[in-house]
Structure 1
């Protein structure tokens, strides 16, 4: 009887002690998350609100949708004003897409070699790659301008893609090298024992398991090339101008008036592909993680 009483008292007292102590740590975590979320999304919210406002109410500050209109989005695509935003979007997709593809293909092989193979000066090569990524882009504008002018590449797609690859490739190599280095060697050794060559083991075992890191790196490389402004502003022409350069030289529907609302509308349009891309790649990342776990 006494043992039953002691057991019952212990069973009742444990939840009571848990209810007495409030988890303030979890509350602080939620508050911090909300503050960070509001801080990060406030500029984007202000951009969307301004994009839908009438041009006459630009300097009337408010955090709510008032005087809503779609004229700003029509102005963005109005070719009679000198805006060629549809072509600029296509140019950005071409430059960012090719940059991401080339950086990913080269970066996968380079990262695998740096992480899994033993050769001389491996750490020196990695240090050189990281050093190249820290070189200031503004110092490259004048040499690139002179180089591409001499070879007749000024205003072409390759004049924009090649510098973007040089910026995206170090990030790609560094990210994938860290991922390949953490993968267990036993996976590759098992494939070699089963009769695979090193290339087959890389293609059939390592690459499928590296899908999450590959898609994440692709997102970072695409966003970096999509948002690039400095090189594109100096090396592009009217036919190859990207969206970041086009927004800076927008023309509004009213003369001698800075088209703030049209610029915000263009910024909203430019942000949409990045958001969609991240959502699509997040699904692929989860699928890659699940496939690797099952295999």
Structure 2
């Protein structure tokens, strides 16, 4: 029995949940896949799968063995990749997942510069505001807002997630009422809808004072931050925004920071931009090089 190929076949069957789909994925016949699984079962003296005409599922022993096989194959793959990076520089593919708003704010520019610096490396970049997708996506690196204490993942702060209140000069000219904690309910709001965020209160900190302010009814409510930012730039209302997103517009005058003596609690999004990666890839050179590149970029722009 070719143990490496047998373990690769087992992991593929588990991922595809089908012998026939695994055979198609591996370029083998279904009978070759079945023989590889049968050889592993005979060697271990256990059944890896319970199979009926209607469904197939791992046994408890099969689940443990498949997990060990996946980890062993990952270790071998990582070692081969690291040796290749040592000999030939960064190459292959780096798979990155990130929050949707990171793309236009800074990640597109980071990735373009990184590709120019490492021409043999390919990037796959998936943007999503679905936290479940982001944290369970199987990417090499995840750029994430908010706490991340999931076992098996390492979370490293790479930038600041400072939150501010802003509006365009056009909105402030149309609505001259001063923006203060007491008048927030009288303004028009552009509000980001996210399952992790409170829909009832904001917390502002002013010197030693902490203010809990009831959220007003928004003029526009959306689950897409870039849509809200476009409306803020067009003068539609006030927007709570991270500094890393607002900074270019504050610099060119298209947005104005409001209540600058107050700090808005970052709430569930946390105080940092996090680089998150599986613990078994902690030594992967291409991941570490990208993180260092990103950190330097964010630091240079004042987002550290």
Into which bin does the TM-score normalised by the smaller protein fall? under 0.3
- Report 1 or 2 for greater relative contact order, CA contacts < 8 Å, sequence distance ≥ 6: 1
Q: Larger radius of gyration, structure 1 or 2?
A: 1
TM-score (norm 2): 0.21
Which one has the bigger helix percentage?
1
TM-score (norm 1): 0.21
